[in-house]
Amino acid sequence: MYLLGNLVWMIFGGIVSFILWAVAGLICCLTIVGIPFGIQCLKIAFFILWPFGKDVEIGKFGVGGFVGNLVWILLFGWELSVSHLVIGLVLCLTIIGIPFGKQHFKFAKLALLPFGARIFTKNWI
């Protein structure tokens, strides 16, 4: 079921989202200061490319992760999180869009606090 969801996701916007996040990550990596933010953008980009069957665990970040998340929230995170929340809510208005809306809620969580987040594969059972 995850395979079908991911294929439909890629056809209807997943690849475009992946490209946008990947380009943002590469642009951030052009400067020394932006490399940590670029790495997080690339991590999110690959998560967006194939989201079904994966989940996000937020937490377990130290002082550096806290500072990184604080700067991220102030500069990028809150806008990205709100946009994913709005898209997720709109998609959940239709029965067919509910699985895709749930994916955007995962992206909203990750877009808010990417430093220290762990993306893992769900168990099949």
* Six token digits for residue 71: 């700067």
56-80 average pLDDT score: 85
pLDDT, tens only, 26-67:
998 998 988 988 998 898 889 888 888 888 888 788 888 889
On whether the CB atoms of residues 80 and 14 are closer than 8 A, the answer is: no
Going by C-beta distance under 8 Å and a sequence separation of 6 or more, which residues neighbour residue 21? 41, 42, 44, 45, 48
Count structural domains, the chain.
Answer: 1
Does the pLDDT of residue 122 top 70, yes or no? yes
Domain holding 82, by residue range, is: 2-121
pLDDT at 79: 86
Axis crossing angle, helix 2-9 with helix 98-112, rounded to the nearest 10: 80
pLDDT at 29: 93
Does the pLDDT of residue 98 top 80, yes or no? yes
Indicate the average pLDDT of the chain. 86
pTM for this model (two decimals)? 0.79
Does the pLDDT of residue 81 top 90, yes or no? no
